[in-house]
C-alpha cells in the first residue's frame, strides 16, 4: 500500500492510523501546490489532487480520509481502532468521522487560503468557535470521543485541531479539548507520525 500525504495536512490522520496499527505502507510526499510527487504527476493518481490518497497493492485508489481510515482500521480488526461493521457503535464512530470532516475540517480549510480576506476568515473562525464549544462539552469526563477506547475518529480530530498552532487560534479557553489533545500528542504512534512526516 501507498499513502500519498502532505506533512501536517489532513492526511496525517490516516498516517496516524497506519502507525497505530503498525501496517506496512509506503508514505509518499506530495507537493500540493504543484501536484507533483517524486514519482511524477499526482493528478494521474488522484485527479482531485487531494491528500490523503491510498493506493492498494492491486492498484485500486481510495480517497476521502474518513473512508481511508475505516478501510485501514478494518485491515487489523484485532487492534480495535474502529468498532466492528454493522454494530451501532460503528455508526457512532462514522457519525464522528462525518462531523469532523464536514463541520470541523471544512471550516478550517478556508483559513489556509492566503488570498481570502480576513473578514471572510472571521466567519469560518466563528463557526469553529461553536464547534470547539460543542466538542469541549462532548469530551467532558471522557478519555476519547468514543469513551475510553481510542479510535480513528480521535486520529482525525487530533489532526485538524492541531492546526490551531499554525493558524494562531487560541484553544486554551476549551480546557477539556486542551487535555484531550495533550493525551493524544504523547501516544507513540502520534510521535512516530510526526517524525516520519518531518
Ligand X SMILES: N[C@@H](CCC(=O)N[C@@H](CS)C(=O)NCC(=O)O)C(=O)O
Residues near ligand X (CB under 6 A) are 9-10, 32, 49-52, 64-66, 101, 109
Q: Which is nearer to ligand X, 7 or 149 (CB)?
A: 7
Q: Which is nearer to ligand X, 27 or 143 (CB)?
A: 27
> Are 87 and 140 contacting, i.e. CB atoms less than 8 angstroms apart?
no
> Are 4 and 51 contacting, i.e. CB atoms less than 8 angstroms apart?
yes
Q: How far is the CB of 188 from ligand X (least distance, A)?
A: 24
Q: Which is nearer to ligand X, 63 or 129 (CB)?
A: 63
Q: Which is nearer to ligand X, 66 or 93 (CB)?
A: 66
Q: How far is the CB of 49 from ligand X (least distance, A)?
A: 5
Residues sharing a CB contact under 8 Å with residue 37, sequence separation 6 or more, in sequence order: 4, 28, 29, 30, 31, 45
Q: Which is nearer to ligand X, 8 or 89 (CB)?
A: 8
Q: How far is the CB of 141 from ligand X (least distance, A)?
A: 29
Q: Which is nearer to ligand X, 2 or 149 (CB)?
A: 2
> Are 49 and 9 contacting, i.e. CB atoms less than 8 angstroms apart?
no
Q: How far is the CB of 78 from ligand X (least distance, A)?
A: 26
Q: How far is the CB of 113 from ligand X (least distance, A)?
A: 10
> Are 197 and 13 contacting, i.e. CB atoms less than 8 angstroms apart?
no
Q: How far is the CB of 45 from ligand X (least distance, A)?
A: 12
Q: With CA atoms as reference, report the closest residue to 130 among 181, 162, 174.
A: 174
- DSSP one-letter code for 100: I
> Quick one: the chain helix, strand, coil %, rounded to 5?
55, 10, 35
For residue 28, the cross-strand partners are: 4
How many other C-beta atoms can be found within 10 angstroms of the C-beta atom of residue 81? 26
Amino acid at each position: 500500500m501507498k499513502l500519498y500525504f502532505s506533512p501536517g495536512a489532513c492526511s496525517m490522520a490516516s498516517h496516524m492510523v497506519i502507525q497505530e496499527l503498525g501496517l506496512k505502507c509506503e508514505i509518499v510526499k506530495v507537493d500540493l501546490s504543484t501536484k507533483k510527487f517524486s514519482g511524477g504527476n499526482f493528478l494521474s493518481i488522484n485527479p482531485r489532487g487531494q491528500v490523503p490518497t491510498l493506493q492498494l497493492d492491486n492498484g485500486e485508489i481510495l480517497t476521502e480520509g474518513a473512508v481511508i481510515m475505516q478501510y485501514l482500521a478494518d485491515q487489523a480488526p484485532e487492534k480495535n481502532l474502529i468498532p466492528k461493521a454493522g454494530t451501532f457503535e460503528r455508526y457512532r464512530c462514522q457519525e464522528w468521522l462525518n462531523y469532523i470532516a464536514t463541520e470541523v475540517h471544512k471550516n478550517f480549510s478556508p483559513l489556509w487560503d492566503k488570498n481570502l480576506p480576513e473578514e471572510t476568515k472571521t466567519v469560518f473562525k466563528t463557526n469553529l468557535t461553536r464547534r470547539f464549544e460543542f466538542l469541549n462539552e462532548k469530551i467532558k469526563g471522557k478519555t476519547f470521543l468514543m469513551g475510553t477506547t481510542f479510535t480513528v475518529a480521535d486520529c482525525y480530530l487530533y489532526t485538524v485541531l492541531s492546526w490551531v498552532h499554525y493558524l494562531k487560534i487560541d484553544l486554551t479557553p476549551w480546557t477539556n479539548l486542551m487535555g484531550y489533545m495533550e493525551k493524544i500528542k504523547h501516544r507513540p504512534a502520534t510521535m512516530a507520525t510526526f517524525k516520519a512526516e518531518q
